[in-house]
Structure 1
Amino acid sequence: MSVRNLKDGSKKPWLCECYPQGRNGKRVRKRFATKGEANAYENFVMREVDDKPWMGGKADRRSLLDMIDLWQERHGQSLANAKQTYNRLMVICNGLGDPFYSKLTANMFTEYRSKRIAGEVADLNGKKTAVSFSTCNHEQAIFNSMISELQSMGEWKGENPLANVRQFKLHETEMDFLSIDEIQSLIAAAENHSHPDLHKFIKLCLATGGRFREVARLTGSQINSYDAFHNNGDAIKKHTVTFTQTKGKKNRTVPIGKEEFELIYTGDHGPLFSISYATVQRFIAAQVPRLNRQAAHVLRHTYASYFMMNRGNIITLQRILGHSDIKLTMRYSHLSPDHLEEAVNKSPIAMLRNKNGD
């Protein structure tokens, strides 16, 4: 104990003994008449070290929330999904109890993760809901990225406590996409919907593979039409949309058909759509009940799936979707009719057929 009663009969029996610069630093000892004075002196000495960092030994008492706010101010706000990312970090912080960042351990995080999966951690609305292993992996990736960025800034002292924490291994899931009949029914229902932008929005998503936010943010200035010329000199009209403020931070231009161009082109440079994610989400979920809560994202999956089923080039698809990593695009490769075709004609059974003249 740093403050104790020596019980030696003196007028100042209370001893304050502390090490403001750590156990290996200088020891401070002083006697007082009362315990209150001894405690007050201890607090004074410890604060003095905090206020004079050049004296050495200052403990970094910033909380995890302090570090999250620092990261948000210096880096996080520049991300495409800045608000959503910050909110995820806040859920983690609250779930961990906002400890001193320097006290955070791998064990604390894995314990939090277990509680998150069990539905024992509240979201920012106070609601406790069990989450999937995939969600936990996503949160861990965000948290780990934040720590690494703070280390690069020189703000996070010491090791990354998540460095050796492995993510959950997950089975690949089959991505839902709409059948032709479902697409036709969806568009027909959208055309009869009271929201004037709904059918236009859905058609453009299916025509470009754009993410919801990319399409929702489109303005008239991002829709273009121009003349292209064949080698024989004949001109043909080309139409494109250019997505900006994308997830990958890079603009990308995707060709569209004449019908889609005429459907959305207004002649001015203002916003093309006034529609919310919730509106599209609820509409698709109502029309196609088999879909999960990622219903709005199924439009992008549908575009990519049919692109590959129609023997599209995987590299071209990567560019259209704006994937920075080809591994993300490869999720659709199995839909190509030519995918692993050699598995059929190079097998030993195929050799037997050839030998027997079948």
Structure 2
Amino acid sequence: MTVKKDGSKWLVDVYPNGREGKRVRKRFPTKLEAQRFEKYVLNKAFEDKDWNTGKKDSCRLSELIATWYQVHGQHLNYSKRRLNLLNYACEAMGDPVTQKLTPETFLKYREQRINSGISAKAVNNLLGYLNAVFNELHRNKIISYENPIQKVRPIKIKERELSYLDKEQIVEMLDILSSVCVNPHVTLIAKICLSTGCRWGEAQSLHARHIKNQRITFTDTKSGKNRTVPH
């Protein structure tokens, strides 16, 4: 994180021009002041580059993704995974100059991914991630031009038919887990998932403090919100 608590003050520790560039460190009495200074430093670095809009713009997508991650992306859930997906797509598209990026460029890449077996949902997620990069930087006035792929529509996905285990299948599954799995917690986790509809990872991360008064409270869920389910 580029803004963090340092004793009684808030420290800004940022490389506005990347790890190879100059490091900027400064302390402030409040977090708000530190965040404002961080944004100022990053904006100033962006404006001083010879590819900044208003001058001859040669900023590449990889640079834009790095700026987005520094000012916003790193604070999101699963931030590293999202960054890796963005960088992979950026490299596959040839790391284009951002203002020369066109819907056609992305559509060609999307078609390649679909033909390679990647699901429509996965490429829709990527489109959302790329839109978020441009929209967030534009909203914060780090870039002045509009999102170049904002008119690309996600692929329409047919709703999948849901299926459920019947009572006999549940009994069979639990019997198999009990006989095959050495770890006794596996069967318990499976029962919690069946009883509450939670995800496996949510059940696996439970502690004793989360189970109280016939209720289970799930924290750090995919939506970022706590959820309590009657037991």
Tell me if TM exceeds 0.5.
Answer: yes
| 1:209 aligned onto 2:197 | yes
Is 2:218–2:226's contact at 8 Å kept on the other side of the alignment? yes
| 1:137 aligned onto 2:124 | yes
The residue number in structure 1 matching 2:33 is: none
Question: Deviation of residue 152 (structure 1)?
Answer: 1.3
| 1:223 aligned onto 2:222 | no
Is 1:242–1:253's contact at 8 Å kept on the other side of the alignment? yes
Is 1:102–1:157's contact at 8 Å kept on the other side of the alignment? no
The residue number in structure 1 matching 2:230 is: 255
Unaligned runs of 5+ in 2: 1-46
Q: Report Cα offsets for 1:117-150 as digits up to 9, x if no partner.
A: 122xxxxxxxxxx212232222212222232122
Q: Report Cα offsets for 1:161-180 as digits up to 9, x if no partner.
A: 22111122222221233222
Q: How does 1:1-150 map to 2 (within 5 A)?
A: 57-119=54-116, 130-150=117-137
- The 3-state SS of whatever aligns with 2:188 is helix
What letter is aligned with 2:225?
K
Q: Report Cα offsets for 1:186-234 as digits up to 9, x if no partner.
A: 1111122112221011111111111233222222222213xxxxxxxxx
Unaligned runs of 5+ in 1: 1-49, 120-129, 226-238, 257-358
| 1:156 aligned onto 2:156 | no
Question: C-alpha distance in 2, partners of 1:207/1:70?
Answer: 44
Is 1:63–1:101's contact at 8 Å kept on the other side of the alignment? yes
- The 3-state SS of whatever aligns with 2:162 is coil
- The 3-state SS of whatever aligns with 2:55 is coil
- C-alpha change, 1:219 and 1:144, in structure 2 (3 Å) is same
Q: Report Cα offsets for 1:240-261 as digits up to 9, x if no partner.
A: 11111122222121111xxxxx
Question: C-alpha distance in 1, partners of 2:199/2:137?
Answer: 30
- The 3-state SS of whatever aligns with 1:221 is helix
Q: How does 1:288-327 map to 2 (within 5 A)?
A: none
What letter is aligned with 1:201?
I
Question: Deviation of residue 111 (structure 1)?
Answer: 0.9
- The 3-state SS of whatever aligns with 2:216 is strand
Is 1:89–1:142's contact at 8 Å kept on the other side of the alignment? yes
| 1:245 aligned onto 2:220 | yes
- The 3-state SS of whatever aligns with 1:254 is strand
Question: C-alpha distance in 2, partners of 1:148/1:194?
Answer: 49
Is 2:60–2:96's contact at 8 Å kept on the other side of the alignment? yes
Question: C-alpha distance in 2, partners of 1:83/1:217?
Answer: 20
- C-alpha change, 1:52 and 1:247, in structure 2 (3 Å) is closer
Q: Report Cα offsets for 1:27-81 as digits up to 9, x if no partner.
A: xxxxxxxxxxxxxxxxxxxxxxx9687xx95334332122222222222222222
The residue number in structure 2 matching 1:319 is: none
Question: C-alpha distance in 1, partners of 2:144/2:64?
Answer: 11
Is 1:80–1:246's contact at 8 Å kept on the other side of the alignment? no
TM-score w.r.t. the length of structure 2 is: 0.70
Question: C-alpha distance in 1, partners of 2:173/2:125?
Answer: 31
Is 1:104–1:161's contact at 8 Å kept on the other side of the alignment? yes
- C-alpha change, 1:75 and 1:204, in structure 2 (3 Å) is same
Higher gyration radius (CA): 1
Question: C-alpha distance in 2, partners of 1:102/1:194?
Answer: 56
Question: C-alpha distance in 2, partners of 1:220/1:100?
Answer: 52
Question: C-alpha distance in 2, partners of 1:212/1:78?
Answer: 24
- C-alpha change, 1:178 and 1:86, in structure 2 (3 Å) is farther
What letter is aligned with 1:99?
P
Question: C-alpha distance in 2, partners of 1:199/1:221?
Answer: 20
| 1:170 aligned onto 2:165 | no
**How well do the aligned residues superpose, as a CA RMSD in angstroms?**
2.2
Question: Deviation of residue 109 (structure 1)?
Answer: 0.6
Q: Report Cα offsets for 1:267-308 as digits up to 9, x if no partner.
A: xxxxxxxxxxxxxxxxxxxxxxxxxxxxxxxxxxxxxxxxxx
What letter is aligned with 1:59?
K
The residue number in structure 2 matching 1:182 is: 169
What is the percent sequence identity of the aligned residues? 35
Q: Report Cα offsets for 1:78-101 as digits up to 9, x if no partner.
A: 222223222222222122111122
- C-alpha change, 1:177 and 1:97, in structure 2 (3 Å) is farther
TM-score w.r.t. the length of structure 1 is: 0.47
